[in-house]
């Protein structure tokens, strides 16, 4: 299948591109490289550009005979979204709608959308099912929910067929250890913990110790990035086979607190992780744990890396082998 991956030079996008190539799909990546890394893309054509450039996108869709799109391109930092909501609505919603319009005009009807558990806000039940009420606690989640709403109406009006994947906390790296997580700024817990273990940071800041959780720190459901990649491809194949538009959660169904992640990382690395407590971050719910029975039942998805230890081991292989991330790689 000829597949366009927007944001395919980012963390989750690049791992999905690798899995697509492994499965013999023909892949084109469109990324403006504002936060992605060209060196993370291999086996696919990389085009530097923006999803709102309708002329460029239209040419790509036609020339490459694109049959389906995986849409990852977005701003995705919760705290940043609270400080700069305008940037998030413009980058995620306005540009996302421009993408959808171009796809409809080009006759491309199959789309897999990278969504997030942040659409739920503070959960009323754990684990969280897809039917849970959606009241985002931050602009990031709100922008993703806005696009999900648009997809429903685009489906009704224009025949766009879509699957939205609401994933929880992506973690780990490809077991080969040659691509992995590298954000600037880095806000995700596991890479921050490993940077402290490597001595690149003096300590880890824990944002909040008074949450209504067993140890007072936030609880999250971690899912390996390769398991996310496989889920995207299963969704793509389901749409190609005529599946109806729908939403799926993606997580392991196990919640780990910040302190539990730190202790597990110390065990994997054999190094101490000094920590310091700080105030809560705005928009952070106490606990998020996925109910992922639907995608297992309907698409046959099963996580390969279920344990936190396995996720940390692959992440450690990447970070210890490339402590500066993609710095120094040829783009």
Name the nearest CA neighbour of 78 among 141, 149, 6, 163. Answer: 141
For the record, the structure tokens of 153 come out as 């109406």
Q: What angle separates helix 308-321 from helix 258-269, to the nearest 10 degrees? A: 60
Which residues are within 8 A (CB) of 217 and not within 5 positions of it... i.e. 6 or more apart?
206, 208, 209, 211, 257, 258, 259
Active-site option among 88, 140, 154, 256: 140
Which residues are within 8 A (CB) of 37 and not within 5 positions of it... i.e. 6 or more apart?
9, 10, 14, 182, 325, 326, 329, 331
Which residues are within 8 A (CB) of 4 and not within 5 positions of it... i.e. 6 or more apart?
27, 28, 29, 30, 60, 61, 64, 66, 68, 69, 70
Angle at 280 between CA 251 and CA 309, to 5 degrees: 35
Q: In the annotation, is 256 catalytic? A: no
Bridge partners for 29 per DSSP: 5, 46
Provide the annotated active-site residues: 140
């Amino acid at each position: 299948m000829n597949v366009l991956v927007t944001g395919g030079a980012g963390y989750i996008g690049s791992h999905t591109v690798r899995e697509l190539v492994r499965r013999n799909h023909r892949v084109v990546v469109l990324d403006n490289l504002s936060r992605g890394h060209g060196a993370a893309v291999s086996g696919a054509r990389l085009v530097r550009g923006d999803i709102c450039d309708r002329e460029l996108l239209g040419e790509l869709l036609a020339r490459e005979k694109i049959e389906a799109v995986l849409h990852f391109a977005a701003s995705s930092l919760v705290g940043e979204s609270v400080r700069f909501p305008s940037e998030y609505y413009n980058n995620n919603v306005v540009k996302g709608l421009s993408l959808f319009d171009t796809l409809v005009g080009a006759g491309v009807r199959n789309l897999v959308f990278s969504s997030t558990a942040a659409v739920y806000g503070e959960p009323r039940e754990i684990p969280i099912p897809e039917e849970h009420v959606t009241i985002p606690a931050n602009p990031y989640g709100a922008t993703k929910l806005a696009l999900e709403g648009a997809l429903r109406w685009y489906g009704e009006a224009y025949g766009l067929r879509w699957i939205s994947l609401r994933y929880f906390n992506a973690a780990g790296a490809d077991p080969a250890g040659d691509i992995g997580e590298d954000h600037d700024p880095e806000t995700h817990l596991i890479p921050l913990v490993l940077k402290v273990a490597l001595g690149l940071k003096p300590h880890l800041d824990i944002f909040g110790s008074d949450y209504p959780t067993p140890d007072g720190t936030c609880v999250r459901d971690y899912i390996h990035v390769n398991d996310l990649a496989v889920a995207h491809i299963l969704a793509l194949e389901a749409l190609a086979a005529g599946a109806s538009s729908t939403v799926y959660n993606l997580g392991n169904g196990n919640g780990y607190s910040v302190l539990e992640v730190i202790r597990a990382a110390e065990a994997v690395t054999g190094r101490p992780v000094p920590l310091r407590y700080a105030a809560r971050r705005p928009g952070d719910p106490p606990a998020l744990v996925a109910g992922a029975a639907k995608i297992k039942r309907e698409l046959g998805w099963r996580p390969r890396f279920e344990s936190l230890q396995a996720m940390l081991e692959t992440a450690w292989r990447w970070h210890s082998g490339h402590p500066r991330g993609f710095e120094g790689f040829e783009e």
